[in-house]
Amino acid sequence: MNFQEAVKEYQANPTKENLAKQTTALTGEMTLDEKIYMIAGHGVWPTIKDYIKTQRYYNVHALPAGGCKRLGVPPVLFTDGPRGVVMGKSTCFPVSMLRASAFDTDLEYRIGKAIAAEAIAQGANFFGGVCINLVRNPRWGRTQESYGEDPHVLGEFGVALTKSVQEEGMIACPKHYALNSIEDLRFYVNVECDNRTLHEVYLPHFKKCVEAGALSVMGAYNRYDEFHCCGNKKLLADILRDEWGFDGFVMSDFVWGVRDTEQSLRAGLDIEMMVTLKYTKRKIKKLLKNGKVHQGHIDRAVKNILGVLIRLLPKMQPRSMQVVGCPEHKALALEAAEKGMVLLKNDGLLPLAKDTAVMVTGPYADVENVGDHGSSRVYDPHVVTPFGGIKRVFSQASLTDGEVAVVCVGSNSKKEGEYFLSTKYSLEQKPKDAGGDRASLRLEPDEVDLIKRLKAEGKKVVVVLYSGCAIITEDWKQYADAIIMNYYSGCEGGTALANLLCGNRNFSGHLPFTVALREEDYPPIIGIGQKPYEITYGYYHGYTLFDKEEKEVEYPFGFGLSYTDFAISNVEVESVATDVKVKAMIKNTGKVDGADVVQVYVGSKGAKDGADRPVKLLKGFQRVELQAGESKTVEISIPKDDLRFWTPGGWILDDAYTVYVGDDSKKAMSCKVDVTM
């Protein structure tokens, strides 16, 4: 039997039982050396020729793992993400955090389709860009790759991206499993949390992706309960496979993901990526000889990989290179940027007339600043800067003068992102501009001085913020007439900014995180050198923490302004067999068309088990497009399973809940309806 014969046999009878039969038969045809080759990564760093040609050190071509030429088994061919395909000259979409701000899972689904097409055209069959790690502190260096602080949002967007990619025959990979919310110490830190926190806060979004059919998962670098995640039996076997029923394969994070060959094989880690350091023939054969692992561990991993390849790869259709960076994908990147940028403040200045004299200034006024330069970097050759976009729309645009100043400030790849340097020194000795976790959530002093100076000169000031997540605005917001959360807005970011500034498009983005008044209001994040590299993740973070502590915030979770106004009324809540159904009327009460995000939060009215409960948790949302004066009825169904709480004896529903509806987490508190289960 070879791979094509196994595929044909499975397609004739696509059942779970037959898949097991085919993978068992195909595994039985392999030699031990071929099996070991199947579970190892075979990527290489670029050749000198490749580096000179591309100026890249990573993922120049699809990175291979596994494969068996003799039996026709194709390798896994990896490309990274999540803001687009890392290989070639691919379309640079806005970062995930901006896309989450659109609260539009259909848009994310379409972006996934585009990414899959560009990946397939360039020879990949695996997309490692479904990053759904939770943001517990905005200083985390890779916030831009995630969808925010809320498990429900992470799950919904992770599912949308996973489904869209796998429908094209590509393997989608939710990552980094699990509890990965610190960058500087990612190789060392041990995370502790109780089981309730683990299951209710840090795992629900991974579970949703598994239930939606994700066929791979990437383990994280960090430790949980003293075991590295890529060798953690509780995470990989007990929860992922036994509790959730995951039937795909688990891949390690790259190079330093696997620390102990025996531990990882026994725990259920199927592929070591991207090069073979621990899953080598020598190490594995020695373990087999000594009885530390047995043949079943190797066969299990091979079968898991084969099962994914047999089911998914035959769905893949060839794509032309013409799809890479095509006009349709550029238009999609523009749509995402326009929908996801968030208007935080507007003292009546915006929108601007197109003949306004506009000065574009600040460190990012006319430079490409599309995000991290680590594994998620996309090399799009055509990026529109803020000035590049504004000068196309405004007849009097300049980099040196104007009656309105558009000030582009915030962060870049040197201040936040993936972190690669040694961690064997103190936080104070961390090199400047090394990326990783942000040193501060505040603007640089010279950026604040620039904002103040321009205001003192009598100019109207629009502050455009670059960052993956929250920036504290309390110390300078009074000097700004308008504030825009720009994030890293992709190849068409400058075009989107110009369209929003002039009113060609209306702001409709809402924050998928909370902006605090003070940095110390967030849970602590440990830095380099703070031994023994331990941290406890608490049950509360983000808006749940601010609700519990009754702390004021600068901008609540879900916040976002528009050039129009909206009103939510006539809220009705009904408990039916398996769902809680929420109905509400939303009206555009202003004079221009726009879009709002209806958000449904649910809080328990009393815990059956006597445990503490959050005031409220987001359980549903819907983006709604409305013409001026138009009203629509929104209906959101919440599965009752999503309202359960974890206990040592199992998941439970409480007897009664309160449903809150609004267009941010603070406004929702004023519109509430009780419901009995």
Q: What are the catalytic residues?
A: 253
- CA distances 63 to 274, 277, 527, Å, are 7, 15, 32
Structure tokens at 32: 């031990």
Q: In a 3-state reduction of DSSP, which class is residue 507?
A: coil
Beta strands in 522-640, from DSSP E residues, in sequence order: 534-536, 553-555, 566-575, 579-588, 594-604, 617-626, 631-639
Helix ranges (DSSP H) in 355-464: 386-393, 445-456
What are φ and ψ of residue 74, in 5° steps? -75, 150
**d(Cα 316, Cα 90) in Å, to the nearest integer?**
19
Residue carrying structure tokens 């990527």: 43
Q: Which helix (H) or strand (E) holds 127?
A: strand 126-131
Instruction: To the nearest 10°, report the CA torsion of 256, 260, 263, 269.
Output: 30
Residue carrying structure tokens 């807005």: 489
* Short-list 134, 204, 206, CA closest to 514: 134
Parallel, antiparallel or unpaired: strands 553-555 and 515-516? antiparallel
Q: Is 658 exposed, middle or buried (0-12, 13-18, 19+ CB in 10 A)?
A: middle
Beta strands in 424-545, from DSSP E residues, in sequence order: 460-466, 482-485, 515-516, 534-536
Helices and strands, number each (H, E), in the chain: 18, 27
Residue 203, sorted as left (phi over 0), alpha (psi -120 to 50) or beta, turns out to be alpha
Q: What is the 3 state secondary structure string of 418-439?
A: CCCCCCCCCHHHCCCCCCCCCC
Residue carrying structure tokens 């799809």: 323
